[in-house]
């Protein structure tokens, strides 16, 4: 089992600080610059099964514009992240986040696979339940 150094843990914290700052601004193209494409997505279809797909950069930008609008500023977003290093170059990060939407506190739990590139960390896989509305269910084989 790989044990990351304090410096490696800090590098992931720093990456998320950068990501959060860009997300707060709603700078979707800059968020896309922090990713590797095609991006893998895993979710589930409410009342159904798992669903997976890959997004191009263009699909990611379109989906994030729709989901984030002008950014996360004003949502009183709080995130607790737990990195699980698989190797020096792969880290799966579990996040529990709480935010205020239209006066209501909402919580979510999701995970991201970050991969180390020549330019630093980048997210490559997103996994979160419940947002596969209209996606076909995953099939084995």
Residue 137 lies in a domain: no
The domain of 61 spans: 6-128
Looking up residue 20, the CATH number of its domain turns out to be 3.10.450.50
**Does residue 35 register a pLDDT over 80?**
yes
Q: What backbone torsions phi and psi does residue 23 show, to the nearest 5 degrees?
A: -65, -40
Residue 74 lies in a domain: yes
Query: pLDDT tens, 101-123?
Result: 778 888 889 999 999 999 999 99
Residue 37 lies in a domain: yes
Its pTM surpasses 0.85: yes
């Amino acid at each position: 089992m790989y044990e990351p150094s304090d410096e490696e843990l800090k590098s992931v914290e720093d990456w998320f600080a950068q990501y959060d700052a860009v997300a707060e601004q709603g700078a979707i193209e800059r968020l896309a610059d922090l990713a590797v494409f095609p991006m893998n997505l895993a979710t589930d279809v409410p009342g159904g099964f798992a669903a997976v797909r890959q997004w191009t950069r263009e699909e990611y930008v379109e989906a994030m514009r729709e989901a984030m609008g002008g950014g996360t500023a004003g949502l009183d977003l709080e995130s607790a992240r737990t990195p699980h290093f698989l190797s020096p170059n792969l880290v799966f990060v579990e996040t529990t986040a709480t935010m205020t939407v239209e006066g209501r506190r909402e919580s979510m739990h999701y995970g991201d696979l970050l991969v180390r590139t020549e330019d630093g960390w980048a997210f490559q896989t997103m996994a979160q339940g419940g947002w596969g509305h209209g996606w076909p269910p995953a099939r084995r084989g």
